[in-house]
Chain A
């Protein structure tokens, strides 16, 4: 237990020290999206899934927003540059926008 504590504290410390600002921005967005998703989930557990398509549309929209932001984070992380030789940060952002466009088009259609 003690080990875990020290490990996680060093994790946090090095996170705040070593992460570029743009990535922190993305991370905060991801945390926000995660919380939105959690709120929806808790609501569904309490109130039931009645308009199931509306719930799914909302919930999946948060999931895909989270995942797409994670993609963006990975592709723009300078540490990962060698893994994505064909993807520049600008390209990554364009992909991010395109995916979000498609997802939210479907979400709007599915809300019912």
Chain B
């Protein structure tokens, strides 16, 4: 094939491959729809879905000014000013465009399929980004990796209608535009970066990552003595336009001028102005005079900034760091100071296995890619290095931030992988022929270990070991080739002296292994996606002993019951995890939800759950609560139930009501958290315990076993006097209780219940004493 036909073929192939990658990326996210149905997943997506419905129904203006009185009863919530509206506006826009062209698509389906669609775009932007760093073949690899990497799929399966679904695309694309801007020094690309940064700010709180990484890149380049006018143009355009645009989002507001998270960007902006000015002056005076001017300039600027900063921090203009931010730097911070942050499982530190679980072979190609970036070390490679260092750190601190690490891992793994392919698939044989004599000596060395190694590859571990053994000498050759390449970089292509690997056996060995890794990777990704990340979590699936699947649909059963059987303004108290789902599915008024903006209110709910009936009844009456909802997994062994979350409720409540709720009282003297007959009196009297185990013993005829905690329950279950059981779902997963009205005869509710049960004498006896 001539060079011309090759390039024509490549021109056709590249878009085809990219489209196929996008198709694969979308298709691999559809497991949950095929297995279950087209539903919105989990918790936060339900809020996004509800607000999107509101936006589509009432228009943008109404949405912007929406005061939601159905959440955080009795406080309410200003929705327009406390959301990142990006995802809702995006899907409403798609919905309206489709309807304009008479495609009557339901808004629910737009929401369900939004994240998979955007994952296709993410793959494309990974291609663009990597193309800027190496070449288009590495770009294609990066696109393929990012398309199916479980670390990204975990947040973007169909139905997972959350900010991250579009934010990762925006993150990668903004970084691509930034690198493009730095390379070309064009204000236009700076502007585009700022515009996409704005889109990112409107979509996800993770925009702070961009606000800090880009200035850090600029700062590092300045330290490396790489100031250029291109850098000035791109950064100052990005910062000036981007900051102003980001302040248009009400939720962000004035933060970019106040909080410390945004100060680094501002500082670097000031710094680069000084650099530009110095550069300007340098052009006009002799070096010696420039030195004197520079020295006096530095002294003046230093003095002014020290005085200014001291004044600002003393007068309190610069706000202190926020808690979520602290917990990034000091992993122990949240656990000690803010239980509400620590209680969210996605804010926990990452277990090391999940790096491999989420990224598989990419995780060991990743350092190699970073190393290759060090070797090139152009401006854009510095960016990737910084990105990888910081994203790795943050991914280690918080599980959720695995998401920001995944793109850079894919990009640098693609660089490493494609460098390997370049070396071992060197196609220009005429180059080889001309250099044959020079290589002869080395090739004889290369031959020996390659032919000695047996060719079978059975297990991965074996393959890895063999790779190391077989690669010993060829690796040396590669380095030599690379060295000579860098030496002759300035010369023309024909002059280039390269020493590629050209023995078919040593080539084949590496190529076969790499291909094998690719197969393993694809297999692993599919396995992880289908096994771990495709459960909607509002519908559960379990397998019976004979292998048949059972769908457990208790959540929707309970919410549907609430929707149909309660009056329109019924207030339902439940732990905050279920707030968004209740609002979205049951359309009831909730006291707390996943927004968690008011810690005191959450602590009040925790107190209602953790205290005895009398105390908690008062709390319930004060907040006009009609129903109380708890999750109980003891029957089917669902471990994410409320008794297991109970300790967090206690901790959060103790933070606000230290006198009424004490964590210590819930532990046995031996420091155990028990629910069976050894449970402490405080535990047994708490409303949560009573609601969970009410009539549980009866279900098994007094021989009940809690399947989650493996505890044998006492034969006599707890009694309830302030609540009536209203509804319990098929598998007992959700239990709803109705709060009793005050007794019509003015008695204590406990006495009244006792009276109904015919225990009059006992109560009256007690009273007489």
- Which residues of B are found within 8 Å of A80, using beta-carbon distances? 229
CA distance A10 to B191 in the complex (A): 37
Looking at the complex, which one of B241, B247, B254 makes contact with A64 (CB distance below 8 Å)?
B241
Main secondary structure of the interface of A (DSSP, over half): helix
Chain B contact surface mostly:
helix
- Residues of A contacting B237 with CB < 8 Å? 67-68, 71, 99
Is B240 at the interface (CB under 8 A from chain A)?
Answer: yes
Q: Tell which of B195, B286, B289, B293 has the most Cβ of chain A within 10 Å.
A: B289
In the assembled complex, B72 has its CB within 8 A of some CB on chain A = no
Q: Which residues of B contact A63 (CB under 8 A)?
A: 240
- Complex CA gap A53/B257 in Å reads 11
B758, CB-defined interface residue at 8 Å: no
- Inside 8 A of B194's CB, which chain A residues have their CB? 102
B254 pairs with A56, CB closer than 8 A: yes
Contacts of B186 in A (CB 8 A): 84, 86-87, 91, 95
Alpha-carbon separation in the docked complex, A10 to B230 (Å): 28
Name the distance in Å between B558's Cβ and chain A's nearest Cβ: 44
Question: In the docked arrangement, what's the CA distance between A39 and B583, Å?
Answer: 51
The answer to whether B244 and A103 have CB atoms under 8 Å apart is yes
Give the residue of B188, B244, B281 whose beta carbon is less than 8 angstroms from that of A98.
B188
Query: For chain B, which range describes its interface: under 10, 10 to 19, 20 to 34, or 35 or more residues?
Result: 35 or more
Within 8 Å of chain A (Cβ to Cβ): is B283?
A: yes
- Which residues on the A side are within 8 Å of B285 (C-beta)? 7, 10-11, 14
In the complex, A31 has a CB within 8 A of chain B: no
**Chain B proximity of A24: nearest CB distance (Å):** 13
Closest to B317 in A: A49
Query: Is A21 engaged at the interface, CB distance under 8 Å to the other chain?
Result: no
Name the one of A3, A60, A79, A92 contacting B187, with C-beta atoms under 8 angstroms: A92
Q: Complex formed: what's the CA distance from A11 to B296 in Å?
A: 15
Q: How far is the CA of A86 from the CA of B185 in the complex (A)?
A: 9
Which residues from B are CB-within-8-Å of A84?
184-186, 229-230
A103 and B185 contacting across the interface, CB-CB below 8 Å:
no
Q: Choose among B184, B188, B244, B284 the residue that contacts A18 (Cβ–Cβ < 8 A).
A: B284
A107 near B232 (CB under 8 angstroms)?
Answer: no
Which parts of B260-311 form the interface with A (CB within 8 Å)? 273, 276, 281, 283-286, 289-290, 292-293, 296
Contact of B245 with A by CB under 8 A: yes
Q: Decide if B248 touches A106 in the complex (CB within 8 Å).
A: yes
Which A residues fall within an 8 A CB radius of B? 3-4, 6-8, 10-11, 14-15, 18, 52-53, 56-57, 60-61, 63-64, 67-68, 70-72, 74-75, 79-80, 83-84, 86-87, 91-92, 94-96, 98-99, 102-103, 106-107, 109-110
| 18 additional A-B residue pairs with CB within 8 Å, beyond A8-B293, A11-B281 | A11-B284, A18-B284, A52-B254, A53-B254, A67-B236, A67-B237, A67-B273, A71-B232, A71-B233, A72-B187, A75-B187, A80-B229, A83-B229, A84-B186, A87-B185, A95-B187, A103-B244, A110-B244
Chain B contacts to A: CB under 8 angstroms: 184-188, 190-191, 194-195, 228-230, 232-233, 236-237, 240-241, 243-245, 247-248, 254, 257, 273, 276, 281, 283-286, 289-290, 292-293, 296
**Shortest 7 CB-CB contacts between residues of A and residues of B:** A7-B289, A64-B240, A95-B187, A67-B236, A74-B229, A14-B284, A95-B188
